[in-house]
Amino acid sequence: MQSDSEAGDQTDNRFGQLGEPLNRSHPFMFGFLAALGVLTALALTRALNNASQAIVLIFISLFLAVGLNPAVEALRRRGLSRGPAVLVIVAVFLFLGAVFSATVVPPLVNQTTQLVQHSPQYLDNLTKNHTIAKLDKSYGIVTKAKATLESKVQDGKLVISAFGGVMGVGKTILSGLFAIITVIILTIYFLASLPKITRTAYSLVPASRRDRVSSLSDEILARIGSFVGGQLIVASIAGMATLAMTLIVGIPYPIALAMVVATCDLIPLIGATLGAIIVTIVALTQSVTLGITAFLFFIVFQQMENYVVYPRIMKRSVKVPGAVTIIAALLGGSLLGLLGGLLAIPTAAAILLIIDQVAVPHAARS
């Protein structure tokens, strides 16, 4: 009887003898592998570009789950299991969202409608200024803008044309609803499964380094949670400042506008500006003077928020120096836009932690 190795050799012989290994140093083989690598990189880049929106939604959901995890852990320490604790947190945020919608949406729609209807009148008031009237007489800028607005307002096409037509309005609304629902569902899933996800990730680390890596990772996740808490504090300050300003100068719907500014302030990069624009628009529906007052207020306040309030709060909550906070926010927003602005401060906190706990001790031992 033939041995297993002989039988294996005979089986291999049916398909021919093994050839010589490919010479990878041959110019043709080198060029082929290089071209294959370039094509693979291009394919991956194109795939990532096509899936960029989904990737952004996944990262935002995971970020929110990590940020809300301290609240879930606080409920667990009070005796709730993780499932009910997650449901309580989700229910609270859905309730706050419903209250926000009921409080903010009706007056916001009303004021926007008033602004659109009275915009020709506002432009007409501009011509009462001597300098603007002189420029309008020479170039007809205000007159043309007024005629365009009047025609759009009369046939009701102003808002629709701003979104690119009826199909554009529908597409914008559906895309926004889909993104919000997707983020909510993914956040709930990640929040419920976060301990399992982290345990699985830690199990991939070599056993000799697992404790060290898990400790550093847990601290990074805790700092992300602190970042979310700090962001809520900054947003609350913006909302209270807006409430005080609207009450003092007499802009209508002060509570609703304060909630709008606080909510928008949670959005990186564009949020504060978006909130300022909304309040300024509402102020303009009352008078040009109120609109200018609101505009100037937000210019001053945003400078204080960006360079004084935000760095100080992040230094205490995330333990990131103020200068690093500003630089990280600028770089993150420039490189990755909205996602970069969201992840910039937590990433800076993680890098500083790794430098402090890994790089510095290693340099001291060498």
Closest by CA to 257, choosing from 269, 241, 234, 233, is: 241
pLDDT at residue number 170: 66
Indicate yes or no: pTM above 0.75. no
Cα separation values, 60 from 39, 54, 63, Å: 30, 10, 5
Q: Enumerate the domain spans of the chain.
A: 224-360
pLDDT at residue number 92: 92
Q: What is the pLDDT along the chain (366 residues), one digit of tens a residue?
A: 445 444 444 445 666 676 676 666 667 777 878 888 889 989 988 888 888 888 888 988 998 899 899 899 999 999 889 989 999 998 998 898 888 888 877 877 776 677 666 766 766 666 666 766 777 777 776 677 666 666 655 555 555 555 555 455 567 778 888 888 999 999 999 999 999 999 999 999 998 888 888 999 988 888 888 888 888 899 999 999 999 999 999 998 888 889 889 988 988 777 888 899 989 988 887 888 888 999 999 999 999 998 889 888 888 888 888 788 888 888 887 887 777 877 888 888 888 888 988 888 888 887
**HEC letters along the chain:** CCCHHHHHHHHHHCCCCCCCCCCCCCHHHHHHHHHHHHHHHHHHHHHHHHCHHHHHHHHHHHHHHHHHHHHHHHHHHCCCCHHHHHHHHHHHHHHHHHHHHHHHHHHHHHHHHHHHHHHHHHHHHHCCCHHHHHHHHHHCHHHHHHHHHHHHHHHCCHHHHHCCCHHHHHHHHHHHHHHHHHHHHHHHHHHHHHHHHHHHHHHCCCHHHHHHHHHHHHHHHHHHHHHHHHHHHHHHHHHHHHHHHHHHHCCCCHHHHHHHHHHHCCCCCCHHHHHHHHHHHHHHCCCHHHHHHHHHHHHHHHHHHHHHHHHHHHHHHCCCCHHHHHHHHHHHHHHHHHHHHHHHHHHHHHHHHHHHHHHHHHHHHC
